[in-house]
A and B are shown apart, each in its own frame.
Chain A
Amino acid sequence: MTNVKMAVWLGCILYCGLLYGQQEFTVSGYVQEASSSEKLFGVTLVFNGSMGTTTNEYGFYSITLPADNYGLEISYLGFQTIRQEISLQGNQKINFELVEETNELDEVVVKSNRVAKAITSTEMSVATLKTETIKKIPAILGEPDLVKSIQLLPGVSSVNEAASGFNVRGGSADQNLVLLDEATLYNSSHLFGFYSVFNSDAIKDVKLYKGGIPSVYGGRLSSVLDVKQREGNAKEFNGLASVGLISAKALVEGPLGKGEAKEGKGSYMIAGRRSYADAFTFLSSEFKDVSAYFYDLNLKANYELNENNKLYLSGYFGRDKFGIKGLVNTFWGNGSGTLRWTSVLSDKVFLQASGIYSNYSYNLDNLRSGAEFRWKSVINNYNFKPRLSWFINGNNTVKVGTDFTYYNFKPGQISPLEGSSVVPQTFQDNFAFETGTYVDYQQKVSDKLSLQYGLRWSTFNRLGKAEVNQYETGNPLTYDPELDNYIVNPVVGTTAYTSGETIKSYNAFEPRFSMRYLLTDNSSVKASYNRMNQYLHLISNTTSATPLDVWAPSGTYLKPQSLDQYALGYFKTFKEGAYDLSLEGYYKNIRDVTDFKNGADLLFTESVETEFVQGNGRAYGLELQVNKNEGKLTGWLSYTLARSESKVLGINNNQYYPTNSDQLHELNLVGIYKLNNRWDFGANFIFGSGRPVTYPTGRYSQNGLVLADYSDRNGNRLPAYHRLDISATLNPKSGKNGKWTFGLVNVYARQNASSIYFSEVSEVNDQEVATGQTQATKLSIFGFPLPSISYEFKF
């Protein structure tokens, strides 16, 4: 038996040696869009129908194959497929340009293997959306929105229409890693979550990882939303401007260092967006004292130093303002800048390195007379992210790198305004250093089996200078089962740490694995596992809307959260890719998930460790998506069946309770219909079973006011949610540049319950009084059909 084994091994080695003996060459280069020279990410290149590769984020590909003649097929969603013969008799550099599929309907539809990618890729639980699709989906007040659009995909939702952020597979909004050109954004919302910070005109593509997250990403538990800005047109100057009900936008782009050449050495893109000075307040004169608006700026430029070296610069700056005269004023937003260098070190080795600065700041002015003050909270972080990709051969690709992040949190500075007697105060800065070192290996084992596996080693060090409170029992909080409440333990002293000294150090290994097995030419099964660690925690004291997003780092008392996710999926295409289907199941187990103790007070609190409690969570579900990819009518149907629960000492009698994002059924139907060359129609229908709500289980009074007693957290359910939205786009005649978009959100005026709440009737004939009478009130955010119109033109 041993001899037989030996013989097989020897045979293998000999065979491999023979393969190796045959001459191999590398073909590499870039794939770009023909009209603008914009580099394309994720383009599939297939040689002789079996061996293949895809372009990376910079449009670069490299594959090493035995010397031979190959039939090469290059395909990308929305672009015409290129078919070409290649005779590989030496190392070659070939750049390709892809042409967008035209709008001409009568033209013979080129069947491509673009859908096949969903079958053959090892990636699962991944969603991509293109800006063109986002712009065709009906939008609230006609402002196309990335985050609202991804919520139409299975497993992605939000707590309600005005909730900030989004929830992925039952996770909370702060568990999403939101990257804009590699820079972390800490708040993805404008105007209390009605809109996201992403200006759809400036975005090239977006990829959402819900599971099977590769080892190159880390730092958040639930998902990665990787958003890339457009690079700009390297061939000619272009402009785009649009006016809608809520905002006006403009974008310009053009070549850099073009001279007399056909294409510039680089390109730039600048986009700006500004909501009208007082968004919403035009609706009612009662709100003359309220001001609410936002703006943002996007910038990207790239320049080719030489054939192998390129520089990229990207920036984002956005701000929101909300104020009520004489009461409160707030001003908050993200800013980021990324400088990147990419270098083709050899045909097979690609280097990228990014230096990133990102900043999130939040100002709150209390304007109540006698106590006017400003509270300011800032996060600064500095990243350096080098990565090496080695395209070993057609079957093996390896990526290695490290992400370094240095954080400086300034949790609170309080300064008096207008000469009030408030004493200025500054909370101490928090410093931390995080690293994530990873290796990611993509391996094609056989024609049927492909693997992607990797390991990420993350470390997180809280650094001085700081003084850390020491509590009497060693812990900030003690649970008192008799009062069913947490008692804050007395501070018995502080430990002082000098600048740069380690206060608390965490590290963890995060294995990642995914595999794909082809069942037939048009179906596959996939499985994945990923472990994630999250070292930052969001302190936000409402499920919604609040700009009070203050992040706290893990440290002496606050532990990092960690998660294991297992997923299994089945993928199939029908009718040569005209339809495709995906079915996935997942299970997530979360440790040290953070929640707030009863009556937590989060604002202006320096020692946040006395407000948090940590426990366990679990989430599981099934997701189904069916896409129709061809014909006049395209779109998708998605259905999610899911549960998300937490168990935390001191909450819900120490039993599992549904999280705010728990929703059993969710169904989305999205259709885009192309009537002719001028008219596009879009519609989406959303159905969701009732979200959790907590109804009171008793009534009593204290100090002249009626109060409610509650028992089970999130123990009741709101009525089911459903809504239909429609839109129509009138495209310009050939030679003309103006485009009209019309929309109607909530067509049949469904008064969906965003909340049902219980209160004492406190107003009689416009006078505030304590009546002692109680009532239940249903709040609907869009209780009526909401029309919109917008106009966009190119120049």
Chain B
Amino acid sequence: MKTHFNILFVISVLMLISCEVDVTNDLTIETTAPKLIIEGGLERNLKNPLGGQRIRLTATTNFLDNNGQTPLVEDAVVTVSDGITSYEFTYAGNGFYENTELTPEVNGEYTLEIVWNEEAYQAVETLNEVPLFDAIYSVFEEETLVTDEGYFAKFDSTDPAGIANFYYHRIARNGEFIVVPDPGNSDVLVISDEFFDGQQRVGVNPNDEIIFEIGDEAIVQQLGISEAYYDYLYEVFVQSSAGGFSFVGNPPPESIRGNVKNLTNSANRPLGFFYAADVEEATLIITE
């Protein structure tokens, strides 16, 4: 189990005697040449089959650039192979590349290949099966120090014994999947079964930042992911909530390493991750 209590420790003590000032406009920070960003992967969803598989390619900008313009990569060649067939992903706008023929399978090994700017990129990922929900329900909870008062969507699920499982939780409110940068994300949104192998988990809150009102529709997802993607997401959630807060960062903030290699020029390392996941999904109308 990964936890990140130390940040909470320090932040809560510091808030009492410290002060924070926004210095965004006082700083000039440098930017490296744009790097390729891979966002997306393959999802096997039997409950709510997807229309197609999508991968998004973009590029880095200056960190303090807030003009809302994400640099899109529109001229890449993207293929995914299952070892037998190679599926071409065609550009569908806004940086997305799509394929409707590929049907991900449990234990399938998938290789992503991208050619962009005369450089070749590659990533390999295996799809792991996810257990089903035993139950899904809504619960009202009082305010605590880290959560607000309101209705939450929760589920029960039984972890398969003897296999290392890694989970990623996603939740949608009235059709919109939501995530907020919160220090709790790295404990709540991803979890390994290290301490509950083979046990039933009861009352799992997939995201304790997302509050519902009576009548809201919740879509709850539990994804079975690889250990490498779990490690990656853990770092994503830690960094996005701590914001490279180097006061508590030891080691100092680091670029998060993904699983995509640049085969042509390894120094021009891409960012992001190509994942494959099995998705368990349930829809719930929030009631009293």
Q: Type the 1/0 row for B52-83, where 1 means its CB is closer than 8 Å to any CB of A.
A: 00000011111111101010000000000000
A706 to B272, CA, bound (A): 12
A757 to B202, CA, bound (A): 37
* Interface presence of B217 (CB below 8 A): no
A698 to B34, CA, bound (A): 8
Decide: A757 and B18 in contact? CB cutoff 8 A: no
Decide: A708 and B5 in contact? CB cutoff 8 A: no
Decide: B252 and A546 in contact? CB cutoff 8 A: no
A270 to B169, CA, bound (A): 55
Decide: B181 and A694 in contact? CB cutoff 8 A: no
* Interface presence of A778 (CB below 8 A): yes
Decide: A694 and B253 in contact? CB cutoff 8 A: yes
* Interface presence of A499 (CB below 8 A): no
Chain A nearest CB: distance from B38 CB in Å? Answer: 9
A698 to B29, CA, bound (A): 9
Among listed B105-113, B130-138, B241-249, B280-288, interface-contacting one: B241-249
Decide: A694 and B252 in contact? CB cutoff 8 A: yes
Q: Which of the listed residues B180, B196, B234 has the most CB atoms from chain A within 10 Å of its own CB?
A: B180
Chain A nearest CB: distance from B24 CB in Å? Answer: 5
- Chain A residues near B59: list those with CB within 8 A: 700
Decide: B245 and A759 in contact? CB cutoff 8 A: yes
Decide: A423 and B20 in contact? CB cutoff 8 A: no
Of residues 5 through 37 on chain B, the ones whose CB sits less than 8 Å from some CB of chain A are: 5-10, 12-14, 16-24, 26-27, 29-32, 34-35, 37
- Chain A residues near B219: list those with CB within 8 A: none
Decide: A697 and B31 in contact? CB cutoff 8 A: yes
Decide: A710 and B177 in contact? CB cutoff 8 A: no
Decide: A774 and B257 in contact? CB cutoff 8 A: no
Range class of the B interface residue count? 35 or more
Q: Type the 1/0 row for A358-390, where 1 means its CB is closer than 8 Å to any CB of B.
A: 000000101011110100000000000000000
Among listed A78-86, A253-261, A482-490, interface-contacting one: A482-490
Decide: A755 and B254 in contact? CB cutoff 8 A: no
Of residues 672 through 712 on chain A, the ones whose CB sits less than 8 Å from some CB of chain B are: 692-711
* Interface presence of A445 (CB below 8 A): no
A710 to B243, CA, bound (A): 12
Decide: A778 and B21 in contact? CB cutoff 8 A: yes
Given contacts A162-B14, A192-B9, A370-B202, contact A423 B195 (CB under 8 A): yes
- Chain B residues near A281: list those with CB within 8 A: 16
Q: Type the 1/0 row for B214-240, where 1 means its CB is closer than 8 Å to any CB of A.
A: 000000000000000001011111011
Chain B nearest CB: distance from A83 CB in Å? Answer: 52
User: B204 is contacted by which of A370, A540, A543, A599 (Cβ under 8 Å)?
Assistant: A370
User: B60 is contacted by which of A698, A714, A773 (Cβ under 8 Å)?
Assistant: A698
Q: Quick one: closest B residue to A547, CB to CB? A: B9
Decide: A324 and B8 in contact? CB cutoff 8 A: yes
* Interface presence of A239 (CB below 8 A): no
Q: Quick one: closest B residue to A704, CB to CB? A: B179
Q: Quick one: closest A residue to B141, CB to CB? A: A369
Given contacts A547-B9, A698-B32, A699-B62, contact A541 B250 (CB under 8 A): yes
* Interface presence of A596 (CB below 8 A): yes
A483 to B27, CA, bound (A): 31
13 A-B pairs within 8 Å (CB atoms) are namely A162-B10, A192-B10, A287-B12, A598-B255, A601-B2, A603-B3, A701-B58, A706-B181, A707-B271, A762-B241, A778-B21, A779-B247, A786-B17
Given contacts A545-B6, A600-B251, A781-B14, 15 further A-B contacts (CB under 8 A): A292-B13, A330-B5, A370-B201, A542-B247, A545-B9, A599-B257, A603-B3, A693-B246, A698-B63, A709-B63, A710-B255, A713-B251, A754-B18, A754-B247, A777-B20
A interface with B by C-beta (< 8 Å): 160, 162, 191-192, 280-281, 283-284, 287, 289-290, 292, 322, 324-328, 330, 364, 366, 368-371, 373, 414, 421-423, 425, 481-485, 540-548, 595-596, 598-601, 603-604, 651, 660, 692-711, 713-714, 716, 751, 754-760, 762, 768-770, 772-784, 786
